[in-house]
Structure 1
Amino acid sequence: MRSFAPRFSTPLDAPRPRGARLLEGFSPKLSRRIRLFDRATFDQWIRLEGDPTVLCFCERPLRLSPTPGARLVDFWVQRDDGEQLLLVNDDEDEPLSPTASDIPLRRVAAAELAAAAMWIVNWQRIADHRFHASLAKQTDASIHQYVHDPVSLSGLEQAFATGDPPVVRGAVFELLRRGRLSAPSLYSQPLTPQTIFGPTP
């Protein structure tokens, strides 16, 4: 990942809204735990983790305005081509006046999250293998060099059968997360041993 100083690195210390769920997870991109308060925001977090164009992000970076109690922005996102603020599951009729007016603000509608449902489910499954990533680093280069043509996940595990299967799978998912492998079917089909992985176009 490219080294840079993020504009936002610590979320605002906001209390959990009354009646809201507490959803926690570990972010590989941030190397820390995050706390979220609704399913839509949690799903968007999964999308950010699985998007290789996202260099860095921060949940609850600021409020839309300095007014006490103003709505929290859900995410600040840094990509190679610039920054972005995200409002998740947003009411499109709500007027916007973000404090950081130099950063474009985008609404993530419920329909967009619904359309990405399969991708989100697959990346939640992939996240279960993240604890193997540190062990998988030495395997990354070998797998990346091996995948000249599309190959199934089970085929990769067989090709590297002398290693630990969870480590091989973790290495494949790490390469996918970094954009060095691709698996377009994950947008529309469940992750299985037959899922095809190929070189990045």
Structure 2
Amino acid sequence: MSVPLRFASPTDNSRPHGSHRYDVFGPKIQRQLALFGRDALDAWTLLEADPDVVAYCERPLSLPDLKRKRVVDFWVCRKEREEFIFLLRPSELASRLDHPSSIPAFRAWAASSNVEPAFVDPNDIARQKLLLSNWESFLCDLSAFGRYVPKALSDQVLKALPSFKTLTELEQHFAEEDPVLLRVAVVSLLHQGRAICSTLGSETFSSRTVIEAKS
């Protein structure tokens, strides 16, 4: 889906002191991006995993009227709305005075721009360990092989899902296909929200994991 992007590239690529840099490829936005710190990496992983997210941009702007610089972590375009995501720092979690919502100029700007602020505790994301682990693996597959999967193969896999619900069953049914591309076809269906897997948050994805077409 092609949408006009309010934000297409970060306004600030400076590395915060002491943070680790992660260079990743975003399948939804079809470009490389640099993420700083594990919190940002985990949040990005869930944005890519969420089929309701159409597009996003990391560090789209800095907040006005602050003595200490504070960037918005992500702008997110969902099917029905836009969001500014703030991954709350320890000081922001500890004190309401440090919370981004305490900045009147920003609240007014966000309201006039029809962008909804979302304040996220990174600890809530980090607790979703299996979901993050599964999607980190999926995103590596999509980044490396997604371009090589014919749409026709994904469509055929989707049609076969009512009868063949695990990778093992699909591999047997599509015996002539490259098993790597077949796995990536399944992953692409999950990524697009055309297929679902209810156990990604509770079990490591395997050849026996049940995948279903979205009803």
TM-score normalized with structure 2 length? 0.87
> CA 1:53–1:95 in 2, change beyond 3 Å: closer, same or farther?
closer
CA distance in 2, matches of 1:53, 1:95: 25
State the shift of 1:18 in Å: 1.9
Number of equivalenced pairs: 200
For the 8 Å contact 2:52–2:79, the answer to whether it is kept is yes
Structure number with bigger Rg? 2
Give the gaps of 5 or more residues in structure 1.
none
State the shift of 1:161 in Å: 1.4
Instruction: Report whether the alignment pairs 1:196 with 2:197.
Output: no
Helix, strand or coil at the partner of 1:104:
strand
For the 8 Å contact 2:12–2:61, the answer to whether it is kept is no
Instruction: Report whether the alignment pairs 1:154 with 2:185.
Output: no
1:99-144: CA deviations, max 9, x gaps?
7412111111133213322111100111221122222123111101
Equivalent AA in structure 2 for residue 173 of structure 1:
V
Matches within 5 A, 1:164-175: 164-175=178-189
Give the gaps of 5 or more residues in structure 2.
none
> CA 1:56–1:62 in 2, change beyond 3 Å: closer, same or farther?
same
The residue aligned with 2:134 is 122
For the 8 Å contact 1:157–1:168, the answer to whether it is kept is yes
Instruction: Report whether the alignment pairs 1:133 with 2:151.
Output: no
Helix, strand or coil at the partner of 2:200:
helix
For the 8 Å contact 2:53–2:78, the answer to whether it is kept is yes
State the shift of 1:12 in Å: 1.1
Instruction: Report whether the alignment pairs 1:178 with 2:189.
Output: no
Q: Which moved more, 1:125-134 or 1:158-167?
A: 125-134
Matched-pair identity in %: 30
For the 8 Å contact 2:76–2:83, the answer to whether it is kept is yes
CA distance in 2, matches of 1:117, 1:146: 30
Instruction: Report whether the alignment pairs 1:101 with 2:113.
Output: no
The residue aligned with 2:122 is 110
Helix, strand or coil at the partner of 1:14:
coil
1:57-100: CA deviations, max 9, x gaps?
00001122254642111000001110001011443431423374
CA distance in 2, matches of 1:117, 1:57: 22
> CA 1:163–1:149 in 2, change beyond 3 Å: closer, same or farther?
closer
1:139-163: CA deviations, max 9, x gaps?
1111011112561122112211101
TM-score normalized with structure 1 length? 0.92
